[in-house]
Amino acid sequence: MSLSDEIKRLHELHQAGALSDAEFEQAKARILTASTVSLDKGGGALSDEMSKLRRSRADRWLGGVCGGLGIVSGIDSWIWRLAFVLFTLAYGAGALIYLALWIFVPEE
């Protein structure tokens, strides 16, 4: 059940007289607080992993971007290198993405 569905259901119960004004406000506050906490935890996993991203000093051919991506993601760095080469050959975007990561991702 989505957040809006839960609040809508609470409103219906309040309109039907099953919930008093105080009970309605308490229940709504609990639902909103719970949804805020779950959003913080849900989005936190990806942001925690991305904050660990560093360019590798040991596993590098050019800038260490693929080595760093390999450490964070658990995927071998050669697969990341292959993906960047394929995106560069197919779309031309692979080189731009690699260059941006090289510039903006700090070195370990």
Residue at token pair 């941006």: 100
Q: What is the pTM of this model?
A: 0.53
Mean of the per-residue pLDDT values of the chain = 80
44-59 burial string, b = 16+ CB within 10 Å, else e?
A: eeeeeeeeebbbbeeb
18-32 pLDDT per residue, tens: 888 888 888 888 887
What is the mean predicted confidence (pLDDT) over 42-53?
Answer: 62
Listed by start position, the domains of the chain span 3-50, 52-104
- The alpha carbon of 41 is separated from its chain's Cα centroid by a whole number of angstroms, namely 10
pLDDT of 20 reads 87
Q: Considering the chain, what percentage of its residues have pLDDT values greater than 90?
A: 3
What is the mean predicted confidence (pLDDT) over 10-15?
Answer: 86
Contact 104, 98 (CB under 8 A): no
3-state helix, strand and coil shares in percent for the chain, rounded to the nearest 5: 75, 0, 25
Q: How confident is the model at residue 50 (pLDDT cuts 50, 70, 90)?
A: low
